[in-house]
Amino acid sequence: MKLAQASVVLTGASGGIGSATARLLVYEGAKVLLVGRSTEVLMKLASELGAGAADRSRLDALVVDITTEAGRAAICDVAQARNVNVLINNAGVPGFGALGDVARADIEAMVNTNLLAPMLLTAQLLPQLLKQPRAQVINVGSTLARIGVPGFTAYGATKAGLRAFSESLRRELADTAVKIQYLAPRSVDTSFNDARAIAFNAATGSRSDPASKVAAAIVEMIRSEQAERGMGWVEQIATRLNALCPRVLDGAFAKHRHALLQTLPSSLNP
């Protein structure tokens, strides 16, 4: 799809990847509805982008919580009015730590935001998308969906679920004009990662990308309509090896287990 023809709903627009994607979408001429929970951050971004936009009517912002029925209903109402044909499920919450050290509320938040909300929002927007000559849903996942890494047990599970959802729905809608796509970034240099996760990545030599690079990949997926894309050539080799011989790779994560121990609170660190 050409960017000038895209009318986009972008969730998680106030985050690092979201704001970078919003800037690029507006620059490329797309019509964009910014969705986020932080009123101050979202409105500041909308004001900044609106000031530089040739046609301010092509940009709007909606402060809602996508994990609520009311929030998703509000998105659908505005999406219908804006004749939306692209949904980017980008909103997410992080989660790092040994499983026993992750609070139940944090696990529930990851499942609700990273998996359940995009599934429900996609289902609710599907009638609108199916009316379009061509439409796209881009689910922003993670390399961790296909490589189980110590310290990201719950987070990786939510992204694996999102990938399975994307793959199944892509096949389900293969005879329609709606393309379902999945992007798997590796670690990204944003405030999404807390200090412990950053230290863990440094200790294990995990590579990362700037948010602008992920934004460029999202925009390119709109253009290309590519079904699935991963980021980082090392990570892509690893995902293929992991798919073929996961048990063989288990031993490669010893340094990750050791690095994870260093992030545990002293009360839990043996």
Q: Which residues are catalytic?
A: 155
CA dist., res. 182 & res. 231, Å (int): 11
Q: CB of 183 within 8 A of CB of 137?
A: no
HSE at residue 227, side-chain half, CA atoms within 13 A, is 11
CA dist., res. 2 & res. 88, Å (int): 15
CA dist., res. 200 & res. 206, Å (int): 8
Distances in whole angstroms, Cα of residue 166 to Cα of each of 67, 152, 198, 216, 243: 19, 21, 28, 20, 18
3-state secondary structure of 10: strand
